[in-house]
Structure 1
Amino acid sequence: MVETKLCTDCKQIKQIMFFSKNRTKKDGLESQCKECRKERKREYNSRPEVQEKIKSYRKKYQDTHKEKLQLKEKKRWASEEHRAYQKRYRINNRERFRKSNRMYSKKNKPALTVKFHVNIAKAKGLFSEWSVEEYKEMMEHFDHKCAITGKKENLEIDHFIPLSTGHGGTHSGNLAPLNASINQSKAFLNPFEWIKGRSDKEKEAFNKLVKYLANLNNLTVFEFKVYVYWCFDNKKT
């Protein structure tokens, strides 16, 4: 005959296999079944004061055993078993990772944009000193629009003096937001030569952009123009 017991919480008669052992009890079993005890524990742990207590305990434990936990985590991540698990998890949750990456990129766009362009200049051995604050100031100056067309969509960061010349670098005095099509059209051309084939409205906006960049470089418009032509006449590889 299968032994049974009444759960004091859900009032259901269940087999003793559904009750945890407790030596302090007369029958050696808990009064509540395993499921009811889990529910009680979940309810207890959800209380604000208990949450704070658990958080405080965890922080204290992590601070006390910091080196031990770091070593344990390092070994876990280095194991072949964990690497295989990570690979399987990414494959099975590909769409979730894509969504997460899109959200992260959108939330951290300024920092990622700055890091990307700074690293490109560094890789080419060019001057690279641009901050997130300077990026935001630039975008606010142009009202988050293309500096030439005034369009808001498909914005890219353009190096006025292309890095391919071996000059210019990544800094506020050489950067501006441009619509992707405009940026691709300008490409590696001398901007003062490129603008000659554009509309009168775009030429007017271009002149304002030149004045803006010349001011950031502490140069007159004429001096800045001379410098740009010099960069193209004296390219470095």
Structure 2
Amino acid sequence: MNEEQSVIAKDCNSCGNMYTLDEFYKDKYNLFNRTFTCKYCRAEVGKKFREANPKYYRTYLIKNRGRVLEDSRKWYHRNPDKVAAYVSKQNIKRQESLKQCLPDDHEYAAKISANKKCSITGVTEGIELDHVMPLAVGNWGNSRGNLMWLYGSLNTSKSSSNVFDWMEDMEQERLDYLLPESVSLTIAEFKEKMLQVLTVKAEELGLTLEQYKQKYNAEYYRRKQL
């Protein structure tokens, strides 16, 4: 307790360590309105559960897609300040990353922007401009061979991953959840479309797909090691 006799820390019922109340999740039904176990212990329990049940959450998300999306929309609506702060932070990081990249190819960017549809699904709503070589990793930026449109959830899933690894590691349950409800693709169809897109990106640089992959991987993993 502090000088005002207010509780500011308590023991975790699992590990026995004492933490400030901020290190426990809120729970209005428990003592001090906090969970009995700390965030670290709960995270460890969650990790072990995911390892033992790798498909549990993906299956749940697919079966409850509508509810999950609605809950997400409600959260964004209730927390505009948090959303704005996150977007601002990401924009700052993006601008800092772009400073390290190759000069913008404005003609190329304009050409890509003129055909705004997801490279994989063909949808035109809810799409985002993706950098094949992530800004957080490489320095290709808005240059030729590095821009494509992706459906929002696909773009979020790819994030700063190596595009070739992301494609190969994709599973059907994961893909089903990421695709818009109006689109259905098998893993084979998804990979075929991705290879078609990457072949086009290679041709934009005057390369074969294999040459593009070698150039991409060499840059990606060299940067990741820095």
Q: Structure 1 length normalisation: TM-score?
A: 0.45
Whichever of the two has the greater Rg, that structure is: 1
Greater RCO, 1 or 2 (C-alpha within 8 Å, sep 6+): 2
